[in-house]
């Protein structure tokens, strides 16, 4: 049954392949492969081994090619790998390209119910044929199960081939299907079919396999959208306006689910559990478009609620007008931009960091916004909480720029923590008592050291009533067309924005002795860049590292550029947007920074950074 | 061009309402609209209405978009909290504000450009969501601030000041509302304060989104011969067959002559809206008949004014979402944040 092409010689690198390999699974979307793939990834995580899973999926519901990549790395390098040691080729449409991608000496697992075309075969890889379709046809009766269970069957084969802990897998299946005994039984059966076949027909485990470690005991496996939603829950957000968009939809789906679980307050009722037995301490509005979504956020924030929206690039484009209104009238707002590939519709299921400049200067006229750049789901949680504090402290929109890679993929990150003494910073809001103590209230006077002026919320005493206007206004909030009065307000806004540099998360900087190269990056490039720095060090190139985590920038960003003879800025867009923003805002010479750009839509890999840096330095290791 | 403040010293002793406030306390800044603008009459009606209702000014939130009409919230209730937003977007801001604090009385002022062109999507969804607010659409068929272009409510054949006839079909906000599931639809004329004030009161009392389409002639750009939104045209074509008197539950402010065919609609707060001179068989609660009636009147070239449709039985956005009686913005943080032990526990799902 196995189509084993000449046995490859016993690899002298086989030891290196324990807990150090990458698997790519090529599937057809809509066939149920996602749950099998994440099952494998989750099992490796539970075995205590650093691991990542990247879902490279099409903007489609059923029938197009989709891939899932699992990278196992004992040293914790879990950025996207480009060398695949094992290809699970389940999509005959893409056999040719998938088989081509396997590293020499690697393996291809395929469905041997049908023979592989001879032209697909390679001498330097091992083909492992498992008759998945045939097995499922013989063992399952419904057509639906025959398709679905193929996935669990190949997962079963991989359990044997990669030496995954069968007990861990069994537990995961039980947890997943605890409410559906029949489905659980089918899954267990399919898993066993694949497992037994592999055990009987191949020498298990392969040279590349896993061995239990203890590296994930204090970690969780979570995607950024879930973590961001948790942050909003913990920050006390009560009103959300949103419009469905990939890849941000799951953020609000998660927030909705979390609210249903944690925000229902019991009220007196004769019938516990009845719809009138609780009240929802939240209101989530699915808007008619992103314009309405941000409008709702502004209305709610104006009224004193913590409010947010989640969207992606096209949504930011639509929101731009009202973002300018929020900036100019000084209304807090939190906007999650889970970035995808632009421009226009672009590639909705592919990742990019190409909304940096859009968000930094969103809206017409002179506008500047505060941006936060989380690099992983852990930071999504922390930054989500901070974003509300910063938005209310500075009375302005705050963008949390995540991306599809962070938002939709499961990441292994340290456990989230919460300080029960946390008190939200609601900023300068005058209540009726405060108003009673002042002679007169004017909206844009009495600024503090950060150039923030106190506000009131609707419902407060008429002494604090004022009229918000997006039209020209003076510091008293009154309509004006007088140049000096207009300028006084917008000049303060500029200073207020600059003052926020110390409120956003500080850059993370790692300096090394003897470094003559500096690498600046942001967001989801983090893991790949840090791996690249280690790889460069192994090649004799010592590089310092700086990851910006917020905008406006603090002085150390400019300093970092000036301190390095060779400074690279690694980011995922075509136009070197972070580099431009640093040059524009710190006034450092743009030519001191060399762009390293990756923007095809898939997550960044360390080798791409290493190649770009070494090519530029003309170092040939 | 700032808005001068009106002098606060009354010329005579003015009557006081239950809060001890006079009508002057419900006024705002001096209008900067053209002399004779219909919008100023609407502003006066709103001022009078809040005074008569004894509404505490700080409990009013007044919002608008962009346009001549949208300037007017500055001209009434200076003690209210105001938000002059962006063109066509007032409905979205009002929705969010209402979501955060349901305790206030919301009034949105918009125009036909603001509501029926750039903001028609938001207006439609505001009606669907049934956000509890008064929505006054000051309708003059024309873009005033940009010097007289037709709006989406201009009738076919109506002539602009330059003599050009409009050739595209008008949008009737009442018919739009009927198809969107609106729960309160009224029409009036800016020059008819006697009808407008009771309608506004009924709209405030209504639990849900209450739209009042107020035909409000533009004296500068749409009050000429050939316009179908001029004062003259309105006086000649208005049919006030459906008259409304608002009778607050607590105290009667103006009691009309009782007629045998009077019909009362009880609002959610217990107050009543009364119809007079209702044509035989007309029931503002019967959506299908309302639609037929308005069409029929329209075909006769008549504009039916008054409370045209009402549905007091439907839920507003808060009831639909089962939110607490108090403002969400007042729910203490301790009830919103699940705390560290819940976080530790929920992370068991992420192992």
- Mapped to the 3 state alphabet, what secondary structure does B175-194 carry? HHHHHHCCCEEEEEECCCHH
Contact residues on chain B for A479, CB-CB shorter than 8 A:
1-3, 74
Q: How many domains does chain B have?
A: 1
* B340·A241 Cβ contact <8 A: no
* B92·A303 Cβ contact <8 A: no
What average pLDDT does range B117-133 have in this prediction? 97
Report if residue B273 sits inside a domain. Answer: yes
Q: Residue B177: is its pLDDT beyond 60?
A: yes
CA distance A349 to A30: 15
When CB atoms are compared, the residue of A293, A304, A479 closest to B3 is A479
CA distances from B106 to A107, A270, B91, B98, B167 (A): 67, 34, 11, 8, 36
CA distance A544 to A556: 13
Contact residues on chain A for B67, CB-CB shorter than 8 A:
none
Helix (H) or strand (E) holding A317: helix A313-329
* A295·B89 Cβ contact <8 A: yes
* A466·B81 Cβ contact <8 A: yes
What is the per-residue pLDDT for B269? Answer: 59
Cβ–Cβ under 8 Å, residues A221 and A410: yes
CA distance A393 to A39: 43
Q: B273 — phi, psi (to 5°)?
A: -105, 130
What is the per-residue pLDDT for B270? Answer: 63
Cβ–Cβ under 8 Å, residues A77 and A531: yes
* A325·B124 Cβ contact <8 A: no
* A307·B121 Cβ contact <8 A: no
What is the per-residue pLDDT for B6? Answer: 64
When CB atoms are compared, the residue of A226, A300, A462 closest to B97 is A300
DSSP B232-247: HHHHHHEE--SEEEEE
Interface test with A, best of B81, B102, B122, B145 (most A CBs within 10 A): B81
Interface test with B, best of A42, A44, A299, A415 (most B CBs within 10 A): A299
When CB atoms are compared, the residue of B93, B336, B338 closest to A295 is B93
- By C-alpha distance, the chain A residue nearest B80 is A465
Q: Residue B129: is its pLDDT beyond 60?
A: yes
Residues 6+ apart with CB under 8 A from A513: A542
Helix (H) or strand (E) holding A377: helix A377-394
Q: Sheet containing A370-372: which strands, arranged edge to edge?
A: A283-286, A239-242, A307-311, A333-339, A397-403, A370-372, A550-551
Report if residue B266 sits inside a domain. Answer: yes
CA distance A340 to A403: 6
Residues 6+ apart with CB under 8 A from A541: A517, A613, A614, A617, A619
If pLDDT is split at 50, 70 and 90, which confidence band does B260 have?
very low
CA distance B123 to B135: 9
Per the document, the length of chain A is 621
CA distance to partner chain B, nearest, from residue A472 (Å): 10
- The range of the structural domain enclosing residue B259 comes to 23-334
* A239·B338 Cβ contact <8 A: no
CB atoms within 10 A of CB B168: 9
Report if residue B12 sits inside a domain. Answer: no
CA distance to partner chain A, nearest, from residue B50 (Å): 15
* A465·B80 Cβ contact <8 A: yes
When CB atoms are compared, the residue of A222, A302, A305 closest to B328 is A305
When CB atoms are compared, the residue of B80, B92, B351 closest to A220 is B351
CA distance A475 to A57: 51
Judge if the upstream peptide bond of residue A247 is cis by omega within 30 degrees of 0. yes
CA distance A198 to A597: 42
> How far is Cα of residue B301 from the mean position of the Cα atoms in its chain?
24
Report if residue B9 sits inside a domain. Answer: no
CA distance to partner chain B, nearest, from residue A217 (Å): 9
Residues 6+ apart with CB under 8 A from A279: A264, A265, A267, B322, B323, B324, B325
CA distance A588 to A592: 8
When CB atoms are compared, the residue of B121, B322, B337 closest to A236 is B337
Report if residue B18 sits inside a domain. Answer: no
What is the per-residue pLDDT for A422? Answer: 98
- Statement: the pTM of the whole predicted model exceeds 0.90: yes
What average pLDDT is seen over chain B? 85
Q: Six-digit token pair at A96?
A: 């040719």
Q: Six-digit token pair at A125?
A: 């890889």
When CB atoms are compared, the residue of A238, A296, A301 closest to B336 is A238
* B340·A419 Cβ contact <8 A: yes
DSSP B44-113: HHHHHHHHHHT--GGGEEEEE-SSHHHHGGGGB-TTSEEEE--TT-HHHHHHHHHHH-TTSEEEEEEEHH
Q: Residue B251: is its pLDDT beyond 60?
A: no
* B57·A297 Cβ contact <8 A: no
Extract the residue ranges of chain A whose pLDDT is less than 50.
1-13, 619-621
Contact residues on chain B for A281, CB-CB shorter than 8 A:
323-324, 328, 331, 335-336
Contact residues on chain B for A238, CB-CB shorter than 8 A:
100, 328-329, 331, 336
* A469·B84 Cβ contact <8 A: yes
CA distance to partner chain A, nearest, from residue B104 (Å): 7
CA distance B327 to A489: 32
Residues 6+ apart with CB under 8 A from B140: B38, B68, B111, B112, B151, B215, B216, B217, B218, B221, B222, B229
Rg (CA), chain A: 27
When CB atoms are compared, the residue of A280, A299, A479 closest to B321 is A280
CA distance A604 to A528: 6
* B93·A279 Cβ contact <8 A: no
Query: pLDDT digits over B196-239, tens only?
Result: 999 999 999 999 999 999 988 887 777 777 777 777 777 777 76
Q: Residue B265: is its pLDDT beyond 70?
A: no
Contact residues on chain B for A297, CB-CB shorter than 8 A:
96
Contact residues on chain A for B339, CB-CB shorter than 8 A:
418, 420
Contact residues on chain B for A267, CB-CB shorter than 8 A:
324
If pLDDT is split at 50, 70 and 90, which confidence band does B35 have?
confident
- By C-alpha distance, the chain B residue nearest A473 is B2
Q: Six-digit token pair at A23?
A: 């698997």
How many residue pairs bridge chain A and chain B with CB atoms within 8 Å of each other? 228
Contact residues on chain B for A235, CB-CB shorter than 8 A:
337
Report if residue B122 sits inside a domain. Answer: yes
Q: Residue B282: is its pLDDT beyond 80?
A: no
Report if residue B110 sits inside a domain. Answer: yes
DSSP B305-339: -EEEEE--SS--HHHHHT--SS-GGGS-HHHH--H
> Three-class SS of residue A105?
strand
Q: What is the ipTM of this complex?
A: 0.94
The full set of domains in chain A, from first to last, is: 14-201 (3.40.920.10), 222-414 (3.40.50.970), 432-502 (no CATH), 508-617 (3.40.50.920)
Alpha helix locations (H) across A113-272?
Answer: 132-139, 143-162, 166-176, 181-201, 224-235, 249-262
* Nearest in space to A326 (alpha carbons), one of A401, A391, A242: A391
* B318·A283 Cβ contact <8 A: yes
What is the per-residue pLDDT for A213? Answer: 97
If pLDDT is split at 50, 70 and 90, which confidence band does B275 have?
very low
* A304·B100 Cβ contact <8 A: yes
If pLDDT is split at 50, 70 and 90, which confidence band does B257 have?
very low
CA distance A151 to A174: 17
Residues 6+ apart with CB under 8 A from A140: A146, A149, A186, A190
Interface test with A, best of B28, B64, B83 (most A CBs within 10 A): B83
CATH code, domain carrying B171: 3.40.50.970
Long-range CB pairs of A56-64, under 8 A, 24+ apart, other chains included: A56/A350, A56/A602, A57/A29, A57/A349, A58/A29, A58/A349, A59/A246, A59/A347, A59/A348, A59/A349, A60/A29, A60/A30, A61/A29, A61/A30, A62/A29, A62/A30, A62/A31, A63/A28, A63/A29, A63/A30, A64/A28, A64/A29
CA distance B2 to B53: 30
CA distance A117 to A126: 15
CA distance to partner chain B, nearest, from residue A242 (Å): 11
Residues 6+ apart with CB under 8 A from A243: A286, A287, A288, A289, A290, A292, A293, A311, A315
CA distance to partner chain B, nearest, from residue A462 (Å): 5
CA distance to partner chain A, nearest, from residue B233 (Å): 34
What is the per-residue pLDDT for B304? Answer: 83
Q: Six-digit token pair at B272?
A: 């009543």
Pairing verdict, β A543-548 and B238-239: unpaired
Query: pLDDT digits over B143-152, tens only?
Result: 877 878 888 9
Residues 6+ apart with CB under 8 A from A9: none
Q: At what angle do helices A181-201 and A132-139 cross, to 10 degrees?
A: 140
* Residue tagged 């799951």 (tokens): A250
CA distance A487 to A365: 13
Report if residue B61 sits inside a domain. Answer: yes
């Amino acid at each position: 049954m196995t189509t084993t092409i000449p046995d490859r010689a016993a690899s002298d690198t086989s030891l290196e392949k324990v807990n150090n390999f990458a698997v790519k699974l090529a599937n057809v979307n809509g066939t149920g492969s996602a749950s099998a793939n994440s099952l494998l990834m989750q099992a490796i995580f539970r075995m205590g081994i650093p691991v990542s899973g990247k879902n490279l999926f099409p903007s489609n519901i059923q029938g197009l090619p989709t891939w899932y990549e699992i990278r196992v790395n004992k040293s914790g390098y879990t950025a996207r790998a480009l060398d695949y040691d094992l290809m699970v080729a389940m999509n005959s449409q893409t056999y040719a390209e998938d088989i081509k991608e396997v590293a020499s000496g690697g393996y291809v697992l395929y469905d041997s119910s049908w023979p592989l075309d001879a032209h697909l075969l390679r001498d330097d890889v091992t083909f492992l044929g498992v008759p998945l379709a045939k097995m499922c046809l013989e063992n399952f009766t419904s057509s639906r199960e025959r398709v679905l269970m193929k996935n669990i069957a190949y997962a079963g084969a991989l359990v044997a081939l990669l030496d995954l802990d069968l007990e861990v897998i069994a537990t995961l299946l039980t947890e997943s299907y605890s409410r559906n005994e029949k489905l659980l039984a089918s899954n267990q059966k399919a898993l066993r079919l694949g497992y037994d076949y592999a055990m009987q027909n191949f020498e298990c485990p392969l040279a590349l396999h896993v061995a239990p470690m203890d590296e994930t005991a204090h970690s969780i496996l979570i995607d950024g959208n879930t973590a961001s939603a948790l942050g909003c829950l913990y920050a006390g957000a009560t009103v959300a306006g949103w419009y469905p968009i990939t890849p941000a939809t799951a953020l609000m789906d998660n927030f909705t689910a979390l609210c249903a679980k944690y925000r229902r307050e019991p009220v007196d009722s004769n019938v516990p559990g009845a719809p009138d037995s609780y009240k929802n301490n939240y209101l989530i509005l699915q808007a008619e478009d992103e314009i309405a979504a941000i409008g709702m956020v502004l209305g709610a924030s104006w009224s004193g609620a913590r409010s947010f929206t989640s969207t992606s690039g096209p949504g930011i484009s639509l929101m731009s007008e009202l973002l300018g209104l929020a900036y100019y009238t000084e209304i807090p707002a939190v906007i999650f931009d889970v970035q995808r590939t632009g421009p226009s519709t672009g590639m909705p299921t592919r990742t990019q960091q190409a909304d940096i400049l859009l968000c930094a200067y969103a809206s017409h006229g002179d506008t500047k916004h505060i941006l936060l750049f989380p690099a992983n789901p852990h930071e999504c949680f922390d930054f989500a909480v901070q974003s509300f504090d910063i938005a209310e402290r500075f009375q302005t929109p705050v963008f949390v720029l995540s991306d599809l890679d962070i938002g939709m993929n499961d990441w292994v990150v340290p456990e989230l923590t919460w300080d029960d003494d946390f008190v939200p910073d609601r900023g300068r809001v005058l209540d009726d008592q405060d108003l009673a103590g002042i002679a007169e209230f004017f909206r844009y006077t009495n600024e503090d050291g950060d150039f923030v002026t106190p506000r009131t919320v609707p419902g407060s005493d008429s002494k604090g009533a004022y009229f918000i206007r997006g039209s020209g206004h003076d510091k008293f909030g009154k309509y004006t067309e007088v140049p000096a009065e207009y300028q006084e307000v917008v000049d303060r806004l500029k200073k207020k924005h600059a003052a926020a540099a110390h409120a956003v998360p500080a850059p993370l900087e790692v300096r090394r002795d003897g470094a003559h190269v500096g690498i600046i990056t942001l967001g989801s490039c983090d893991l790949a860049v840090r791996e690249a720095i280690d790889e460069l060090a192994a090649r004799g190139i010592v590089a310092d590292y700086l990851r910006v985590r917020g905008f406006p920038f603090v002085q150390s960003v400019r300093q970092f550029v000036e301190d390095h003879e060779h400074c690279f800025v690694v980011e995922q867009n075509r136009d070197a947007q972070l580099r431009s923003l640093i040059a524009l805002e710190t006034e450092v010479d743009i030519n001191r920074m060399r762009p390293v750009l990756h923007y095809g839509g898939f997550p960044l890999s360390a080798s791409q950074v290493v190649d770009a840096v070494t090519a530029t330095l003309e170092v040939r290791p | 061009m700032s808005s001068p403040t009106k002098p606060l010293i009354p010329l005579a002793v003015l009557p006081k309402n239950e809060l001890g406030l006079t009508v002057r306390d419900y006024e705002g800044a001096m209008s900067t609209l053209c002399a004779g603008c219909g919008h100023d009459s609407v502003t006066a009606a709103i001022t009078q209405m809040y005074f008569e209702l004894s509404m505490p000014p700080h409990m009013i939130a007044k919002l608008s978009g962009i346009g001549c009409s949208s300037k007017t919230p500055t001209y009434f209730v200076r003690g209210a909290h105001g938000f002059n937003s962006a063109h066509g977007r007032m409905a979205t801001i009002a929705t969010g504000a209402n979501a955060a604090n349901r305790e206030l009385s919301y009034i949105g002022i918009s125009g036909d450009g603001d509501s029926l062109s750039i903001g028609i999507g938001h207006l439609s969804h505001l009606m669907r969501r049934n956000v509890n607010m008064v929505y006054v659409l000051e309708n003059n068929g024309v873009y005033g601030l940009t010097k007289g272009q037709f709006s989406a409510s201009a009738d076919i054949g109506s002539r602009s000041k330059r003599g050009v006839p409009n050739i595209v079909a008008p949008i009737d906000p009442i018919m739009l509302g009927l198809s969107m599931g609106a729960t309160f639809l009224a029409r009036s004329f800016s020059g008819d304060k006697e009808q407008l004030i009771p309608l506004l009161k009924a709209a405030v009392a209504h639990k849900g989104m209450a739209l009042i389409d107020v035909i409000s002639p533009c004296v500068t750009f749409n009050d000429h011969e050939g316009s179908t939104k001029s004062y003259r045209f309105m006086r000649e074509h208005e049919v006030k067959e459906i008259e409304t008197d608002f009778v607050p539950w607590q105290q009667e402010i103006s009691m009309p002559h009782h007629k045998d065919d009077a019909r009362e609609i009880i609002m959610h707060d217990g107050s009543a809206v009364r119809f007079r001179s209702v044509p035989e068989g007309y029931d503002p609660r019967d959506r299908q008949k309302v639609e037929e009636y308005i069409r029929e009147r329209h075909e006769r070239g008549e504009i039916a004014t008054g409370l045209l449709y009402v549905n007091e039985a439907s839920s507003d956005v808060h009831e639909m979402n089962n939110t607490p009686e108090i403002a969400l913005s007042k729910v203490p943080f301790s009830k919103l944040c699940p705390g560290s032990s819940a976080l530790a526990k929920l992370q068991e799902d992420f192992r």
